[in-house]
Amino acid sequence: QVQLVESGGGLVQPGGSLRLSCAASGLALRYYDMGWFRQAPGKEREGVSYISNDNTTTHYMESVKGRFTISRDNAKNTIYLQMNSLKPEDTAIYFCARRRAGYPLSLRPISYEDWGQGTQVTVSS
């Protein structure tokens, strides 16, 4: 059974940092492109970043470029999202997911599957 478990969220002040983790069981992440997504209350889920299975390609949504960094440790079967200079508008539940076979590598949530339960990130003073 495939399971992705996100962790590392919390309450942080504007300008602060958090590091999210996404640990996988039931599949070897080294074979898959992975993505991070977020969903704020009353809004649609949006793609934040993706990373290719071989770690050669990363991409970010415009509003987090220069602040967020996606990475992976295939030996630990885990991907990460380092979030710096956090802003109140980053407040959301953050999810990880793996890209569906046959779908292009993109930030479109429909291209992904095996969603975790998410981890809450709240940026507030």
Say if residues 98 and 114 touch (Cβ distance below 8 Å): yes
Give residue 116's pLDDT: 87
CA distance 120 to 11: 8
Residues 77-113 have pLDDT tens digits of 999 999 999 999 999 999 999 999 999 999 999 999 9
Q: CA dihedral in degrees (38, 41, 43, 48; nearest 10)?
A: -10
- Residue 68: how many CA atoms within 13 Å on its side-chain side? 25
Q: How far is CA 57 from CA 9, 30, 70, 72, in A?
A: 25, 14, 10, 11
Kindly tell me if the per-residue pLDDT of 57 is higher than 90: yes
Average pLDDT over the chain reads 96
| Cα separation, 42 vs 59, whole angstroms | 25
The predicted-structure confidence for 19-52, as pLDDT tens digits, reads as follows 999 999 999 999 999 999 999 999 999 999 999 9
Tell me the average pLDDT across 51-57.
94
Residues 10, 18 contacting (CB under 8 angstroms): yes
